[in-house]
Amino acid sequence: MSEKPLISARGLSVGFKIGSGMFSKSILKAVDNVSLDIEKGSFFGLVGESGSGKTTLGRAFLKAVPITGGHAAYNDDEVSYDLGTLTGPALKDYRKRAQLIFQDPYAALSPRMTVRDIIAEPLEVMGLTKSREETDARVREIAAKCRLNLEHLRRFPHAFSGGQRQRISIARALVSRPNFIVADESVAALDVSIQADVLNLLKDIQREMGLTFLFISHDLSVVAHTCDHLAVMYLGRLVETAPTRTLFKAPRHPYTKALFSAIPSLDPDDRRGGQKLTGEIPSPTNQPPGCKFHTRCPNVIDRCRVEEPTLENPGDGHSVSCHRWRELLAVPAG
Amino acid sequence: MTVLIDVQNLTLKFRTDEGLITAVDDVSFTIDKGEVMGLVGESGSGKSVTAKALMHLNAKNAVYAPESKILLHTDAGVVDVLKLRTAKELKVARGGAISMIFQEPMASFAPAITIGSQMVEQLLIHGDMTKARAKEISIEMLDRVGISDPSKRFDQYAFELSGGMRQRAMIAMALSTKPSLLIADEPTTALDVTIQAQVIDLMKDLVAEFHMGILFITHDLGVIAQTADKVSVMYLGKVIETGPVRDVIRHAKHPYTQGLLAALPKLDDLDAPLTPVAGDIPSPLERPPGCVFHTRCPQIIGDVCKAKLPQRVQLDANHSVACHLYSEGGKA
């Protein structure tokens, strides 16, 4: 693709000051030196365990947390923004173009507002419509796209099930006609039978409206089915990124391999489960030296304990951050 | 095989301002010693309420139908848990012969009391031993579930432990009284997938070692496939299919079970479309008449499903299903 990516990050870091004492101040690096491109029209998946920094990275792209290092840029057909320095009217304009769908549809909708008002609120706040009629028309248009019953617009959220509520949240995120959507664990709170419905809806809408999605999830089978491109995070670093199929067929990073083998198999006779990781993700305030994964890595060597690997792109679009990935290619996963 | 617990015709309603709400409707099952039974269902299916009934833990507004029986087989004979009244009588079902581990380990430990004192407290309630001995047993158990430096952890608070560590401590605590039945209510749902794999392995080792029965509640069919010997699928308070885990997962008979399996994203076929179960789970206040699943069933065979409750049909010795497709001459 010769076109510029919609979102592009170079050495992006997000740090938080922790501790309030005069001498005990330290920086927690939730996202550390991340470089990645999200192409226009892609469904980009971000996976990792809790504490890996995936939510923080998503929020940095939305400018909901301050970027403390590196660069992030947004480019669509009309505008180009440097997200690090965006302020004032340009930031307001960016809010129209980038939107968030939350995880919990029970907490994200105000119980005191009707569905119509919930969906219309972004239009009114951003001043995107000139009259009530225009607002209503926009609300009805997007509600229909999200397969909501138009007669339900006058009801309150409590009358709806989890799946319906999530469709309302989606409609609210889409009503300002954004280009870029961050969906943070947007199906994690839903039952399996409903989850597939919401995923199909997101895919349909993405295709129909030409949107770009950053889909954050801890559920690998969900991202495998919805995303065309994946990035795996561990302790604030990007450890591997590749097209979904490539990543599932031939993961290069030992962490990615371990994540895949930890997915419980639906086959009751396949209970060996492959290579299991021992231990847990270290605390981000007390990060190990060298490769961040070395404390749990089954393939660790002395070099990993002292020298941090960089994200290496061998030219096939499948980048990995591991000292030993080339020699490990010969070893089958699990 | 020796029966550990025998649940017969369990029906449970909750008295609310809006009337009686049926949470569990005529559910029967048994769990043997050393057997892992999986209970699968979506939110609102009644699986947690069923589990709590085994310990008589449901809220005061729960109304049990008179024919409901929960027969717990102990060394001292058979007791009907639902007939137990006083705290002293209930001890056998609450931490004595039955222990429970919960989904959210942070919410299950008292935050201001050390892990150790909570473990010792319950050992002293359920067993006749000195405090020193109880501490010894607790540290042994913490070590057994793979907690490093157990004597240090013993003196720590729940917030000082990570999520996986807390769930291990929860398991250690539940098992230290040597229960014959362990109820695990979504024990791995709040955990990351790599930690979930560790906890599942640990639970399998412990079943083999202690030879207890487990009631494993989850919404995740993959977890069931990895842990259970047999499985019951619940929908709106009814068990709609039950059988050995291989039969139910490979040859699901009920349209709901088939739908649940089809809705799961599968890793071996990324091109397969995701097929949701159409429609939404009805509100418990609007319980459908006839078969509870008929409002969403893709294989509905007409008025009979809307009007008549399907009876349980035994397909073979262990596999049964409650669906008119099999009782009304459809596919039987």
**Domains of chain A in sequence order:** 7-328 (3.40.50.300)
> pLDDT digits over B247-278, tens only?
999 999 999 999 999 988 888 888 888 888 88
Phi-psi sector, B98: left (phi>0), alpha (psi -120 to 50), beta: beta
Whether A55 shows a pLDDT value over 80: the answer reads yes
**Residue type (1 letter), A22:** M
Does the CB of A58 have a partner CB in chain B at under 8 Å? no
Contact by Cβ (8 Å): A202, A186: yes
CB atoms within 10 A of CB A213: 24
Domain assignment of residue B237, yes or no: no
Domain assignment of residue B147, yes or no: yes
Whether B1 shows a pLDDT value over 80: the answer reads no
Separation of alpha carbons B200 and B224, rounded Å? 10
Domain assignment of residue B108, yes or no: no
pLDDT band at A1 (very low <50, low <70, confident <90, very high): very low
Which DSSP state fits B92?
Answer: I
State whether B276 and A197 contact (CB < 8 Å): yes
Domain assignment of residue B234, yes or no: no
Residue B153: the pLDDT is 92
The pair phi, psi for residue A178, each rounded to 5°, is: -75, 165
Residue A272: the pLDDT is 62
Nearest CA in chain B to A273: B197
Query: How would you write B203-233 as a 3-class SS string?
Result: HHHHHHHHCCEEEEEECCHHHHHHHCCEEEE
Burial of A196 (0-12, 13-18, 19+ CB in 10 A): buried
Which residues, 6+ apart, have CB-to-CB distance to A88 below 8 Å? none
> pLDDT digits over A97-118, tens only?
999 998 888 889 999 999 999 9
* Residue closest to A223 by CA, chosen among A236, A234, A213, A235: A213
Which pair of structure tokens corresponds to residue A129?
């419509």
> pLDDT digits over B163-175, tens only?
888 888 999 999 8
Which residues does chain A have within 8 Å of residue B196's beta carbon, measured at their own beta carbons?
Answer: 262, 264
Which positions 175-214 of A are in contact with B (Cβ < 8 Å)?
A: 191-197, 199-200
Which residues does chain A have within 8 Å of residue B195's beta carbon, measured at their own beta carbons?
Answer: 49, 280
Average pLDDT, chain A: 90
Nearest CA in chain A to B256: A193
Which residues, 6+ apart, have CB-to-CB distance to A189 below 8 Å? A103, A104, A105, A106, A162, A166
Which DSSP state fits A159?
Answer: G
Query: Which of A104, A266, A271 to probe by mutation at the B interface, max B CB count within 10 Å?
Result: A266
Q: Mind telling me how many Å the CA of A259 is from chain B's nearest CA?
A: 6
Mean pLDDT on A187-193: 84
Residue A45: the pLDDT is 96
> pLDDT digits over B30-68, tens only?
999 999 999 999 888 999 999 999 999 888 899 999 999
Separation of alpha carbons B11 and A269, rounded Å? 34
Contact by Cβ (8 Å): B46, B237: yes
Q: Which of B193, B246, B263 sits opposite A218 (nearest CB)?
A: B193
Domain assignment of residue B73, yes or no: no
Q: Where are the alpha helices (DSSP H) in B34-188?
A: 47-54, 87-90, 105-108, 115-126, 131-144, 150-154, 163-175
Q: Which of A162, A195, A225 sits opposite B270 (nearest CB)?
A: A225
Name the 3-class secondary structure at A327. Answer: helix
CB atoms within 10 A of CB B158: 21
Separation of alpha carbons A184 and A59, rounded Å? 9
Does the CB of A149 have a partner CB in chain B at under 8 Å? no
Q: Mind telling me how many Å the CA of B293 is from chain A's nearest CA?
A: 13
Judged by average pLDDT, the poorest of A56-70, B185-199, B251-265 is B185-199
Query: Which of B147, B193, B200, B247 to probe by mutation at the A interface, max A CB count within 10 Å?
Result: B193
State whether B281 and A161 contact (CB < 8 Å): yes
Nearest CA in chain A to B228: A268
Point out the domain boundary residue: B138, B159, B175.
B175
Which residues, 6+ apart, have CB-to-CB distance to A329 below 8 Å? A252
Which residues does chain A have within 8 Å of residue B168's beta carbon, measured at their own beta carbons?
Answer: none
Q: What is the ipTM of this complex?
A: 0.82
State whether A161 and B280 contact (CB < 8 Å): yes
Q: Beta strands A229-234 and A237-243: pairing type? A: antiparallel
* Residue closest to A76 by CA, chosen among A43, A128, A35, A39: A39
Average pLDDT, chain B: 90
Number of separate domains in chain B: 2
State whether B267 and A220 contact (CB < 8 Å): yes
Q: Residue B267's domain spans which residues?
A: 251-327
The pair phi, psi for residue A245, each rounded to 5°, is: -60, -45
Mean pLDDT on B9-23: 92
Does the CB of A269 have a partner CB in chain B at under 8 Å? yes
Contact by Cβ (8 Å): B93, B72: yes
Separation of alpha carbons B93 and B82, rounded Å? 10
Q: Which of A194, A264, A280 sits opposite B226 (nearest CB)?
A: A264
Does the CB of A104 have a partner CB in chain B at under 8 Å? no
Phi-psi sector, A210: left (phi>0), alpha (psi -120 to 50), beta: left
Which residues does chain B have within 8 Å of residue A52's beta carbon, measured at their own beta carbons?
Answer: none
Those residues of chain B whose CB sits closer than 8 Å to some CB in chain A are 42-43, 162-165, 192-198, 200-201, 219-223, 225-226, 245-246, 249, 259-261, 263-267, 270, 273-277, 280-281, 283
Whether A86 shows a pLDDT value over 60: the answer reads yes
Residue B332: the pLDDT is 43
Domain assignment of residue B122, yes or no: yes
Considering only residues A271 and B291, tell me which one the structure prediction assigns the higher pLDDT: B291
Name the 3-class secondary structure at A89. Answer: helix
Domain assignment of residue B258, yes or no: yes
Q: Beta strands B238-244 and B320-322: pairing type? A: antiparallel
Does the CB of A245 have a partner CB in chain B at under 8 Å? yes
Q: Beta strands A98-101 and A180-184: pairing type? A: parallel
- What percent of chain B shows pLDDT beyond 70? 98
Whether B177 shows a pLDDT value over 70: the answer reads yes
Separation of alpha carbons A62 and A17, rounded Å? 20
Which pair of structure tokens corresponds to residue B58?
């449901």
Mean pLDDT on B302-325: 93
Residue A20: the pLDDT is 65
Separation of alpha carbons B230 and B38, rounded Å? 6
State whether B263 and A195 contact (CB < 8 Å): yes
State whether A277 and B197 contact (CB < 8 Å): yes
Mean pLDDT on A65-88: 94
Domain assignment of residue B53, yes or no: no
